[in-house]
């Protein structure tokens, strides 16, 4: 289905699939007299919840993204994300605000499978990008969110020979409370280490070293995160990991996300570090690998030059599937329960 937001007439559109009907439901809600819309959180860091967001603030967020990417009226976009969550809703709001021509494709692991023409803008999860590598050259501006982009995926993107300087790919940083993202980090054609925040967004640290965000155009409050970061300057920061994921082993604090980056440079599998209760260490460092058990993978992991000796996993566990939330994020809480129960 193609929706031209420059000449929008909802009554003339044919909504056939379940996904298209969900799009219609949102558009009806958006163009109603109400000043807010309902948004559901993913539940990746806790119990999913539903809250209401002002339409004006969603439009402000859309303006920041569209301006950063240089999107203009009449550009073609592709929506492949569930519209229950802020990520999918914001694709619709950006299309409304910038009067884009929006193509809908059912959210799936291979959302760009039928894409056969150039488009100007799309947002995907890392898993969707992983399964759309042969279509990336058709997307001028791609933003990747919902989970961190692994080193392995970055390497696969950079290895695509049909990508050019006109293909711009970014990793996003944000949360439901910031109405999708407030910062982008370029992966292609430049490879940046730091996220750059949008205009009118201020960042600082709390006493724990966690990021604080003030983005008055989308949220009147200073937002306190549990994300440990390194701030380079007033507009740039590097994500280190979530403080609630920190593993305390033998008195040493271990940031699992940083270790996962090292591991994923060496193996193609999803790899997640968890801390399991241990009488002598407090928490024992366990590495969970998604896929069949492999001596070759174990050898590669043991050969990794970790910065500290206690960064090496005490045990490597293989599992068929790592649990994920409905929008594709690794569910660390559920994984921790599964591994702890199995050891």
> CATH assignment of 2-200, given 3.40.630.10, 3.30.2350.10, 3.40.50.12780, 3.40.120.10?
3.40.50.12780
Q: Where in the chain is the domain with CATH 3.30.300.30?
A: 246-342
Query: Cα 50 vs. chain centroid, distance in angstroms?
Result: 19
Neighbours of 335 (CB within 10 A): 19
| Cα 191 to Cα 127, 134, 173, 188, 268, distances in angstroms | 20, 20, 16, 6, 20
Residue tagged 């860091």 (tokens): 45
Return the closest-CA partner of residue 27 out of 83, 98, 106: 83
Return per-residue pLDDT of the chain as tens, 343 residues. Answer: 899 999 888 888 888 899 999 999 999 999 999 999 988 766 555 566 788 899 999 999 999 999 999 999 999 999 999 998 889 999 999 999 999 999 999 999 999 999 999 999 999 999 899 999 999 999 999 999 988 888 888 989 999 988 988 999 999 999 877 888 999 999 999 999 999 999 999 999 999 999 999 999 998 899 999 999 999 999 999 998 889 889 988 888 898 998 998 898 889 899 999 999 988 889 999 999 999 999 999 999 999 999 888 999 999 999 999 998 776 678 988 999 999 887 6
The encoded tokens of residue 102 equal 């929006």
The full 3-state SS of 183-228, as one line of letters, equals EEEEEECCCCCCEEECCCCEEEECCCCEEEEECCCCCCCEEEEEEE
Q: Got the DSSP string for 51-71? A: EEEEHHHHHHHHHHHHHHHT-
Structural contact between residues 58 and 83, judged by C-beta atoms closer than 8 angstroms: no
How many H-runs (helices) and E-runs (strands) does the chain carry? 8, 19
pLDDT for 44 equals: 52
Query: Thinking of the domain 246-342, which architecture would CATH place it in?
Result: 2-Layer Sandwich (3.30)
Q: Where in the chain is the domain with CATH 3.40.50.12780?
A: 2-200
Taking the whole predicted model, whether its pTM rises above 0.85 is answered as no
């Amino acid at each position: 289905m193609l929706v031209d937001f420059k000449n929008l007439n909802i009554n003339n559109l044919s909504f056939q699939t379940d996904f298209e009907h969900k799009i219609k439901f949102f558009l009806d809600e958006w163009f109603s007299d109400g000043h807010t819309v309902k948004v559901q959180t993913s539940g990746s860091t806790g119990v999913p919840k539903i809250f209401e967001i002002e339409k004006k603030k969603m439009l402000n967020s859309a303006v920041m993204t569209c301006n950063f990417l240089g999107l203009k009226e009449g550009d073609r976009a592709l929506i492949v994300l569930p519209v229950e969550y802020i990520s999918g809703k914001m694709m619709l709001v950006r299309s409304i605000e910038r009067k884009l021509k929006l193509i809908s494709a059912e959210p799936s692991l291979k959302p760009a499978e039928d894409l056969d023409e150039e488009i100007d803008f799309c947002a995907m999860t890392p898993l969707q990008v992983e399964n759309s590598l042969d279509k990336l050259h058709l997307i001028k501006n791609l933003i990747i969110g919902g989970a961190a982009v692994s080193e392995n995926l970055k390497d696969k993107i950079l290895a695509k020979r049909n990508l050019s300087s006109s293909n711009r790919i970014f990793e996003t940083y944000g949360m439901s409370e910031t109405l999708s993202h407030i910062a982008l980090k370029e992966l292609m054609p430049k490879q940046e280490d730091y996220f750059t925040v949008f205009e009118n967004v201020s960042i600082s640290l709390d006493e724990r070293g966690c990021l604080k965000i003030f983005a008055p155009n989308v949220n009147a409050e200073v937002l306190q995160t549990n994300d440990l970061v390194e701030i380079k300057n007033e507009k740039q920061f590097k994500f280190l990991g979530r403080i609630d994921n920190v593993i305390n082993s033998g008195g040493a604090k271990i940031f699992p996300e940083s270790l996962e980056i090292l591991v994923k440079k060496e193996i193609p599998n999803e790899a997640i570090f968890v801390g399991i209760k241990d009488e002598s260490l407090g928490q024992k460092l366990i590495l969970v690998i998604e896929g069949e058990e492999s001596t070759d993978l174990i050898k590669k992991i043991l050969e990794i030059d970790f910065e500290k000796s206690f960064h090496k996993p005490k045990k490597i566990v293989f599992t068929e599937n790592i649990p994920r939330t409905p929008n594709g994020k690794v569910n660390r809480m559920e994984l921790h329960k599964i591994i702890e129960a199995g050891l």
